[in-house]
Structure 1
Amino acid sequence: MRFDRIRLQNFKCYEDAELRLDSGVTVIHGLNGSGKSSLLEACFFALYGSRALDTTLDEIVTIGAEETVVELYFTHGGDSYHIRRRIRATGSDARTAECVLEGPGGTTEGATDVRSRVTSMLRMDTEAFVNCAYVRQGEVNKLINASPSVRQDTLDDLLQLGKLEEYRDRASDARVGVGRVRDDKQGALTEVDEQLEGKEDKGLHQQRNAVETELSEVESKIERYEQNQSEAEQSREEAAEVIETYEQKRAELAEVEEDIDGLRERIQETEREREEFAERASECREELTETRKQRDDLVDTLGIEAGNELAPRVSERIEAVEAEIEEVTEEIRELSVTKTEHDNEAERLASEADELESTAEQKRTEADELATEVSETEAKLAERRERLDEMTTEIEEKRAAFDNAPVGVGEASAYREEIAEELGEIRERRTALAAELDNERERIAEAESLLEAGKCPECGQPVEESPHVSDIDERREHVTELEAELDDTEARERERDDDLERAKELETLESEIERLESDRENLDQILDEREDTIEEKRQRIERLREEAAESEEEAQASRERATEARKQATECKEEIAAANKQKAELSERRDTLETLLDVLEAITGLEEERESLQRQRAEREEVNDERRERLGELRERRSDLREEFDEDRIEQARKQKQKADAYLEEVAETLAELEDRLAALQGKLGGIETEIEAMEELRQRQAELRETVERLDSLYDEAEQLEEMYRTLRSELRQRNVESLERLLNETFELVYENDTYSRIEVDGEYRLTVFQKDGEQLDPEQLSGGERALFNLSLRCAIYRLLAEGIEGTAPMPPLILDEPTVFLDAGHVSQLVELIDAMYDLGVEQILVVSHDEELIDAADTLVTVRKDSTTNRSTVERLENLQGIDEQVLAAGSD
C-alpha cells in the first residue's frame, strides 16, 4: 500500500494544503508546533475516521471555520482508491457530513461502512495500525514498556491469532452447549424409561377387553328401554291431540268474545270522531270569515282590484317588486365595488408615496454613508501610499548593501553555495594536513627515542643507519612545511568562514528584498483597486442622490392621486345611501304583498279543510254500518262454539296423558343412569386407549431420544476435538511467529546495532523479550539506556512489520511505515543507527516510509523532503516538497530548517 496524495481544507492549522507522496523515504521537517505531525494524523483520520483521533471532531476543525475536508488518494494491491471525509461544525457538535471511499468494486458511503471496508482491506483496525505501521510521537517505547500479557494480546491481534482464540472459544461454547443438551436429553430418556415401565405394568390391553364386554351389555339395555319409551310417547301424543283440539276451540271462543268487545269499542270511537269533525267544521267557517275580512283590508291598502284570480295577480306584483329590488341591489353592489376600488386606490397610492419617501430617505442616508466611507478610505490610502514610499526606500537601502558586496542581488544563494563548497574542501584539506602532521610527529618522536637508546629494543642492533632514523632531518623539514601549510589553510578557513557568514547575511538580505518587492507590488495593486473602488462609490453617491430626488417627486404625485380617489369614494358612498333608502321602500311593499298572498293561501286551505271534514264524517258513518253487520255475525259464531264442548272425552284424554308422562319420567331416569354408565365406560375405554397410544408414543420417543443422545455424544467429542485443534494450532502458529519474530528482530537489531556489547535477543512463547550481552548476562529491555531502548523498540516495530508483510504477502499489501519524531529519545550516535534501520527497511521491500523529524542526518537520508512552515501572523501552516536530496550541503538544510 502507498499513500499518493493528501489534501486538507481547514484541518487543524492547515487552511488549504495539498501534498504528493511518492515511494521511498519521505522526511517531513519543520519547527516544533508547525504542524508536521498533523499531516500524518490527517492520513490516519482519512483511513479510520474519528476512531483515529485522541480528541473530538470539533478540535480538528480550524478555528473560525464551519467545515473540514480531508481527502486521501492511495494505491492498494495495484489499484487506486480515494477517500473523502467532510466534517460540519455549524451546530453545537461537529459531525461527519460526508464520507465516501471510491475504488475498484464500487463506492462505499458512510463513516461506519468506510471504516469497515478499510479494516477489511488492510486486515488492521485502528489499534492494530498504530501498533504496527504508525509509531506516533511519544509512543516509540509503547510496546517495550507494555506488560507481557498486553504485548502478547497486541501481537496476537496483529498476527490475527486472536481469531483462532475466538474460534476456540466458539468451539468451547458449542461443546458446553452440546453437553447441556446431551444431559437434558439423557435426563429426558431416563424419565421416558420410567414412564414406559410404569405403563407396561398396568396390563392395559386386558383392561380394554373387560371394559368393551361390559359396554356391549349396557348398550343392549339402552336399546330395549328406548323402544318402550317410544310407545309411551305415541300414546301421550294421541291424548295431547284431543286436549289440544279442545283448547283450540276454547281459544277461538275467547277470541270471538274479544273481537265482539273490540267492535263495540271501535264503533263508539268512530262516533266520537264524527262529533269532533263536526266541531272542527264549525271552527273553519268562523276562521274563513275573519281571514276574508283581512284579505279585503290588504286589497284596499295595496290598491288592488278585487275579483277572480287574485292570487296570480299578487304573485305577479311580488315578482315585479323583487325585480326592482334586484336592480337597486345590483346598483348598490356596483357602487360599493366602485367605492372599494377608489378606497383601495387611495390607500395604495398613499402607501406607495410612503414607500417612495422612505426609499428616498434610505438612498440619501446610503449616499451620506458612502461619502463618509470614501473620505475615510482616501485617508487610509494616503497612509498606505506613504507606506509604499517607505517600502521603496527600504528596498533601495537594502539593495545599496550589495554595492560593496562581492555579488549582486539574485546571486547570493549561488555565492553562498560556492563559498560553502570551497570551505568544505579547505576543511577536508585541513583535516588531512593535521592527520599527516600528527603522523610525522609520532614518527620523529619514535626516531628520537631510538637514537637516545642507541640500539633497537627488539633486535639489539645499532640504529644509526636504520631507515627509522636516517631520514629524521627530512621529516623535521617536512613537519615544518606541514605546519606552515596548516597555518595557511587555517587562515584561509577563517577567511572563508567570514565570507560564508557574509554570504548568509546577503542571502537573508536578498530574501527580505524579494519579500519587500512582492509586498510592494501587492500593496500597489491593492491601492489601485481601492482607488477604482472609490471612483465607483463617488458615481454611486451621485446616482443615489438623483434617485432620491426622483422618488420624492413620484411620492408627491401619488399623494395627489390618492386625494382625488378619496373624493370619488365619498361620492359613491352618497349614491349608495340613496339606493339603500329606495330598496327599503320596495322591500316593505314586497312584504305586504307576500302577507296578502299568505292570507289567500290560508283561505284556500280553510275551504279545502272544511270540505275534507264533511267527507270524512260521511266515511266514518259508512264504516260503522259495516262494523254493526260484523258484530251480528260474531255473536252467531259464539253461540255455535258454546254448543260443541264434550267434558267426558276431555277428562279421559287427560288421564291417558298423565299415565304416559309418569312412565316416560321413570324410563328417562333409567335411561339416564344407563347413559351415564355407558359414558363412564366409554370414558374409561378412551382413557385406556389414550394410555396405550401414550405408551406407543413413549416407545417411539424412547428410540428417538436414544438416537439423539448417541448423536450428541458424537457431536460433543467432535467439538472437544475441534477446541483442542484450535488451541494446538494457535500454540503452534504462535511458536512459529515467535521464532520468525525472534529471527527478524535479531536481523534488524544487528543491522543497526553492531557492537561488542550485545550478542542476541530472545523472544519466548509469551512474547517476553530478553537481551543477551556478549558475556552471557541477561537484560530486560527496560534496563537498556534511553537511546538503546528507543532503538530496540523501533527494531521491534520494524520486525513486526516485516513479519506481517511476510505472513500475508500477495493478499493484503502492508501500509506505509510511519515514524513520528522517532529521534526524540536518541543521541547523535543512535540517530545514525536509525538511519541505517530506515535504509534497511527500504532495501527489504517497504515501498513507502514516512518520517517526521527535524534531525539533519535523517534529512540527508530522505528521497523526498517536505518542509512545513507556520505563518506567525495567521497561525496557518503550509507545505513544500523538495526532491532528489542526496548530496545537498548540510548548511543548506540547516538554513532551510531555520
Structure 2
Amino acid sequence: MRFTRVSLKNFKCYEDADVRLDRGVTVIHGLNGSGKSSLLEACFFALYGASALDKTLDEIVTIGAEEAEIDLWFTHAGNDYHIHRRVRNTGERASTPDCTLETPSGSIDGVTDVEEYVGDLLRMDAEAFVNCAYVRQGEVNKLINASPSTRQDMLDDLLQLGKLEDYRQRAGDARLGVEDVESNVAGKLDQLDEQIEAKEAENPHDKLANLKSELADVTEDIENYEQQRDTARETLEDAESVLESYEEKRAELEDVEETIAEVREAIAETESEREGLAEEVSEHRERADDLEAEAEELVAETGLEEADAEAAAAKREEVAAEREDVTERVSEVAPEVSKLSTEADNAAERAEDLETRAENLREEADDLEADADDLEDEHEEAVERIEELDAEIEAAKAAFEDAPIAFGNAEAHLESLNADLDDLRERREGVRADLQSAEDRVEEAEELLDAGKCPECGQPVEGSPHVEGVEEYRARVADLEAELETVEEDVEDVTARIDRTEDLVEREREVADLERDRERAVERRDDRENAASEARAAAAEKREEADDLEAEAEDAREEAESKREQAEDKREALAELNAEQSALKERIERLDDLADVLDEAASHRESADQLAEKRADLDDRNDERRDRLGDLRERKQTLEAEFDEDRIEAAKEDKQRAEDYLEQVEPELEDLRERRDDLQGKIGAAENAIEELEELRDQRETVAARLDELREIHEEVSELESMYGDLRAELRQQNVAKLERLLNETFELVYQNDSYARIELSGDYELTVYQKDGEPLEPEQLSGGERALFNLSLRCAIYRLLAEGIDGEAPLPPLILDEPTVFLDSGHVSQLVELVEQMRRMGVEQIVVVSHDDELVDAADDVVRVEKDATSNRSRVVRDPEEALAD
C-alpha cells in the first residue's frame, strides 16, 4: 500500500495544500511548529476518521473557516483508491457531512461504511496502524513503556493471532453454553425420575378397577329409581288431566256468564248511540236550510238568476279573465311611466355632469398655461447652468497640464502603484519573519554555546562539526536587516507617489461628476422646452372640448323636459286602469262567497244522510246481538249439568300422592347422580394419571438421549477450545523467536556500541536488555537516546515481521516516522539513515520521515518542504528550485 497524493483545504494550519508522494524515502522537512506532522495526520484522518484523532473533530477545521476538505489518493494491491472527507464546523458540534471512497468496483458513501471498508482492506484498525507503521511524534517510547500484556495484545492483533483468541473464546462460550444446557437437561431428567416414582406409588391401575366397579352399582340404583319415578309421573299426569278438564269447563262457564253480561251492555250502549245520531241528523238538516237561504241573498248581489254552484263558478271565470286583461294593461303602462321618469332624471343629471366637466376643462386649461410659463423659466435656467458647468470642467482638467500622466489614466496608475505597495509590504513581512527567525536561531545558538551544546543537534560542543554555523546565522541577520531597510525606503517612495496620484484621481472623478451634471442640465433644457409647447397645445384642446360639452348639456336639458310631459300622460291612464281592476276584484270575491255557501250547504245535507244510514246499521247490529244472547243462555245451562264431584275428589288424592313421591325421589336421584359424576371424574383422573405416567416414561427416554448427545458435544467443544489456545501459543512462540531475532539485528545496526550483548523477548512479550557482563536491564533503565533507538528498532522489527509473514498478499502501509531524531545525537542519526536504507532495500515500497535534520534530507529520494507564514500563521508546502525547474 502506498500514498500517492494528499490535498487539503482549511485543515488545521493549512489553508490550501496539494502534495504528491512517490516511492522510496520521502522526507517532510521544516522548522519546528511549521506543520510537518499535520500532513501525516491528514493522511491518517482520511483513512480512519475521528478514531485517528487525539482531540475533537472541531479542531480539524482551520480557525476562521467553517469547512475543511481532505482528499487522499493511494494504491493497494495494484488498484487505485481515493478518499474524500468534508468536515463542517459552524460553531456547534462538528460533523462529517461528506465521506466517500472511490474503489475500482464503485463508490462507497458514509463514514461508517468507508471506515469498515478501509479496515477490511488494510486488515488493521487505527490503533493497529499506529502500532505497526506510524511512529507518531511524542510516542517514541510507547511500545517499550507498555505493559507486557498490552504489548502482547498489540502484536497479536497485528499478526492476526487475535482471531485465534476470538475463536478460542467463541469455543469457550460454546462450551459454557453446552454446560448450561447439559446441567438443565440433567436436572430435567432427575425431575422426571421423581415424577415417575411418585406416579407409580399411587398405583393408578388398581384404583381405576375399583372405581369402575363402584360406578356400575350406582348406575343400577339410578335406573331403578328412575323407573319408579316415571310411574309416579304417569299417575300425576292422569290426575292433572281430570282436574284440568274440570277447570276448563268451570272457566268456560265463567266466560259464558261474562259474555252474556257484555252482550247486554253492548245492546244498551248501541241504543243510546242511535238516539244521539238522530239528534245530529236533525242539526245538519237545519244548518243546510239556513245556508241555502243565505245563498239566495248572494244571488241578487252577483247578478245571477238562481243559486247554482256551476253558474257561480262559470261567472267567476268570466270576471277573472276580464280582471287579468286589465292587470296586463296595468303591467304594460306602469313600466312606461317609470321608464320615462328615469330617462328624464338621467338627461337632467347628464346635463349637469357635462356642464361640470366643461368648467373643469377650462380650469385645467388655465393651469396648463401657467405651467407652460414656469417651464419656459426653467428652460432659461438650464441654459445658464450648462454654461457654468462647461467653465468648471475646463478648470478641473487644467490640473493635468503639469502631471506625469494624461487625463483619464489616473485611476489605472493608482491601482498599479497600490499593487506595487502590496508586493513591497508582503516582501517586508517576509523579510521581517526571516529576520525574526534568524535572530531567534542566533539567540538560541548563543545560549547553547554558552551552555556548551551544539546549536544544531543539542549535543555537547566538543567535537561537533556544527559550531561554525553560528557565524553564518549572524551574517544572515545582517543581510536581512539591510534588505529590510531598502524595502522600507521603497515603501515610503511608493506611498508618496500614491498620495499624488490620489489627488489626480479625485480630479478625474470631479470632472466625471461635472460632465454627468451637464448631461442632466442638457436633458432638463430640452425637456422643459418640449414640455412648455405640449402644455400650451393641451390647454387649447381643453377649451375646445369645454365648448362641445356645454352644447351637449343644453340638448340634454331639452330632452329631460320632453320625457317628463310624456310620463305625466301615462300616469293618468294608469290611475283609470287601477280603479277598474279594484271593481273586478270585488265581484270575484262575492262569487267566491256564493260558491263557499253552496258547498257548505251540500256538505251538511250529505252528513245528515250518512248519519241516518249509520243509525239504521246500528239497529241491525242490535238484532244480531239479541240472537247471540239466546244461544249463550242455552250453553250456560248445558255446562251447569256436566259437573261430577266424586271423580274430581279422587283425582285430587292421586295427584297429591304422586307429587309426594316425586318430591322424595328427586333428592335421592340427585345424590346418586352426583356420586356417579364424582366416580366418573375420578375414573377420568385415574386414566389421565396412567397416560401421564406413560408420557413421563417417554419423555425420560428422550431427555436421557439428549443428555448423552450434549456430553459428546461438550467433549468436542472442549477439544476445539484447547486446540485454538494451543495453536495461538505455538504461533506466538514462533513469532516471538522471529521478532527477537529481527529486533537484535535492527538494534545492532543502529546502535553500534559494545555495551550490550543482546535483547531478549520472552513468550509473554517481556523485554530485557543484557549487558556484555550478562547483567539484565529493563528498557526503562536505558538513556533517553538509547530508549529512542530501542523503540525505533522494535517498530522496524515488527514491520519486518509483518511484511515477511504476509508474503505480499496484502502489502503493508507506508512506514512513517514522525520526528524520530528528537533524542538522537549526530552519530545515531547516521545510523538511523542506515536503518531507513535497510528497510528500503528489504522491499518497503514507501517510507515517509518527518524531520528538521538535514542529514536525513540528504538521504531522501524526495523532499517536501513546509514553511509557516509568520503573519497569517498558515503553513504551506514549498518545492525545491531544482524540482520546480524539472517540472
Q: Deviations over 1:541-595 (max 9, x none)?
A: 999999x999xx99xx9xxxxxxxxxxxxxxxxxxxxxxxxxxxxxxx9xxx9xx
Superposed, which structure 2 residues align to 1:465-614 within 5 Å?
A: none
Q: Secondary structure in 2 aligned to 1:28?
A: strand
Contact 2:66 2:90 in 1 (8 A): yes
Q: Deviations over 1:640-698 (max 9, x none)?
A: 77554755466655554444433333333332222212212111111111111111111
Determine the structure 2 residue equivalent to 1:170.
170
Alignment partner for residue 860 of structure 2, among 845, 859, 862? 862
Alignment partner for residue 817 of structure 2, among 808, 816, 819? 819
User: Residues 13, 673 of structure 1: CA spacing in aligned structure 2 closer, same or farther, 3 A cutoff?
Assistant: same
Determine the structure 2 residue equivalent to 1:773.
771
Supply the AA of the counterpart residue of 1:107: S
Alignment partner for residue 725 of structure 2, among 704, 710, 727? 727
Q: Deviations over 1:858-885 (max 9, x none)?
A: 1112111112223333333322445998
Q: Secondary structure in 2 aligned to 1:154?
A: helix
Bigger shift: residues 622-631 or 273-282? 273-282
Q: Deviations over 1:169-193 (max 9, x none)?
A: 3333332332232222222222222
Determine the structure 2 residue equivalent to 1:144.
144
Distance 2:162 2:786 in 1: 31
Q: How many equivalent pairs are there?
A: 669
Determine the structure 2 residue equivalent to 1:828.
826
Superposed, which structure 2 residues align to 1:277-296 within 5 Å?
A: none
Contact 1:819 1:850 in 2 (8 A): yes
Bigger shift: residues 99-108 or 781-790? 99-108
User: Residues 29, 606 of structure 1: CA spacing in aligned structure 2 closer, same or farther, 3 A cutoff?
Assistant: farther
Supply the AA of the counterpart residue of 1:877: S
Determine the structure 2 residue equivalent to 1:157.
157
TM-score normalised per structure 2: 0.62
User: Residues 809, 245 of structure 1: CA spacing in aligned structure 2 closer, same or farther, 3 A cutoff?
Assistant: farther
Q: Deviations over 1:184-227 (max 9, x none)?
A: 22222222222212322333222222222222333333334334
Determine the structure 2 residue equivalent to 1:13.
13
* 1:32 and 2:59 correspond: no
Q: Deviations over 1:20-79 (max 9, x none)?
A: 222211111223322221111111111111111122222111223222222222212222
Distance 2:280 2:80 in 1: 112
User: Residues 392, 830 of structure 1: CA spacing in aligned structure 2 closer, same or farther, 3 A cutoff?
Assistant: closer
Determine the structure 1 residue equivalent to 2:57.
57
Q: Secondary structure in 2 aligned to 1:138?
A: coil
- Which protein has the larger Cα radius of gyration, Structure 1 or Structure 2? 2
Determine the structure 2 residue equivalent to 1:740.
738
Contact 1:761 1:771 in 2 (8 A): yes
Q: Deviations over 1:272-321 (max 9, x none)?
A: 999999999999x99xx9xxxxxxxxxxxxxxxx955999999x989989
Contact 2:749 2:835 in 1 (8 A): yes
Structure 1: runs of 5+ lacking an equivalent = 290-305, 332-376, 398-492, 558-588, 893-898
Contact 1:87 1:96 in 2 (8 A): yes
Supply the AA of the counterpart residue of 1:673: D
Determine the structure 2 residue equivalent to 1:758.
756
Distance 2:601 2:671 in 1: 80
Determine the structure 1 residue equivalent to 2:843.
845
Determine the structure 1 residue equivalent to 2:198.
198
Superposed, which structure 2 residues align to 1:648-687 within 5 Å?
A: 648=644, 654-687=652-685
Distance 2:85 2:749 in 1: 40
Pairwise CA distance, 1:142: 0.9
User: Residues 796, 271 of structure 1: CA spacing in aligned structure 2 closer, same or farther, 3 A cutoff?
Assistant: farther
User: Residues 307, 187 of structure 1: CA spacing in aligned structure 2 closer, same or farther, 3 A cutoff?
Assistant: same
Distance 1:716 1:794 in 2: 47
Q: Deviations over 1:700-728 (max 9, x none)?
A: 12212221222222222223222222222
User: Residues 692, 732 of structure 1: CA spacing in aligned structure 2 closer, same or farther, 3 A cutoff?
Assistant: same
Q: Secondary structure in 2 aligned to 1:823?
A: coil
User: Residues 254, 15 of structure 1: CA spacing in aligned structure 2 closer, same or farther, 3 A cutoff?
Assistant: farther
Q: Secondary structure in 2 aligned to 1:670?
A: helix
Determine the structure 1 residue equivalent to 2:133.
133
Contact 1:12 1:59 in 2 (8 A): yes
Determine the structure 1 residue equivalent to 2:456.
none
Determine the structure 2 residue equivalent to 1:490.
none
Pairwise CA distance, 1:14: 2.1
* 1:73 and 2:88 correspond: no
Pairwise CA distance, 1:97: 0.8
Contact 2:260 2:629 in 1 (8 A): no
Distance 1:691 1:876 in 2: 91
User: Residues 605, 273 of structure 1: CA spacing in aligned structure 2 closer, same or farther, 3 A cutoff?
Assistant: farther
User: Residues 233, 786 of structure 1: CA spacing in aligned structure 2 closer, same or farther, 3 A cutoff?
Assistant: same
User: Residues 857, 392 of structure 1: CA spacing in aligned structure 2 closer, same or farther, 3 A cutoff?
Assistant: closer
Supply the AA of the counterpart residue of 1:776: G
Pairwise CA distance, 1:108: 2.3
User: Residues 178, 258 of structure 1: CA spacing in aligned structure 2 closer, same or farther, 3 A cutoff?
Assistant: farther
Q: Indicate the RMSD between aligned Cα atoms, in angstroms.
A: 5.9
User: Residues 389, 73 of structure 1: CA spacing in aligned structure 2 closer, same or farther, 3 A cutoff?
Assistant: closer
Determine the structure 1 residue equivalent to 2:114.
114
Contact 1:278 1:613 in 2 (8 A): no
Distance 2:95 2:275 in 1: 97
Q: Secondary structure in 2 aligned to 1:5?
A: strand
Pairwise CA distance, 1:139: 0.7
Pairwise CA distance, 1:747: 2.0
Q: Secondary structure in 1 aligned to 2:682?
A: helix
Bigger shift: residues 693-702 or 239-248? 239-248
User: Residues 652, 145 of structure 1: CA spacing in aligned structure 2 closer, same or farther, 3 A cutoff?
Assistant: same
Determine the structure 2 residue equivalent to 1:718.
716
* 1:92 and 2:92 correspond: yes
Contact 2:284 2:607 in 1 (8 A): no
Q: Secondary structure in 1 aligned to 2:221?
A: helix
Distance 1:272 1:161 in 2: 129
Superposed, which structure 2 residues align to 1:267-286 within 5 Å?
A: none
Supply the AA of the counterpart residue of 2:670: A
Supply the AA of the counterpart residue of 2:187: G
Contact 1:278 1:614 in 2 (8 A): no
Q: Deviations over 1:803-845 (max 9, x none)?
A: 2223333443211112222222222122112111111111122
Supply the AA of the counterpart residue of 1:862: A
Alignment partner for residue 689 of structure 1, among 673, 687, 690? 687
User: Residues 839, 720 of structure 1: CA spacing in aligned structure 2 closer, same or farther, 3 A cutoff?
Assistant: same
* 1:210 and 2:210 correspond: yes
Q: Deviations over 1:308-347 (max 9, x none)?
A: 5999999x989989x99xx99xx9xxxxxxxxxxxxxxxx
Q: Secondary structure in 1 aligned to 2:726?
A: helix
Contact 1:260 1:631 in 2 (8 A): no
User: Residues 706, 136 of structure 1: CA spacing in aligned structure 2 closer, same or farther, 3 A cutoff?
Assistant: same
Superposed, which structure 2 residues align to 1:616-631 within 5 Å?
A: none
Determine the structure 2 residue equivalent to 1:786.
784
User: Residues 737, 89 of structure 1: CA spacing in aligned structure 2 closer, same or farther, 3 A cutoff?
Assistant: same
Contact 2:246 2:643 in 1 (8 A): no
Distance 1:875 1:608 in 2: 122
Distance 2:282 2:833 in 1: 138
Supply the AA of the counterpart residue of 1:802: R
Alignment partner for residue 806 of structure 1, among 798, 804, 807? 804
TM-score normalised per structure 1: 0.62
Supply the AA of the counterpart residue of 1:167: Y
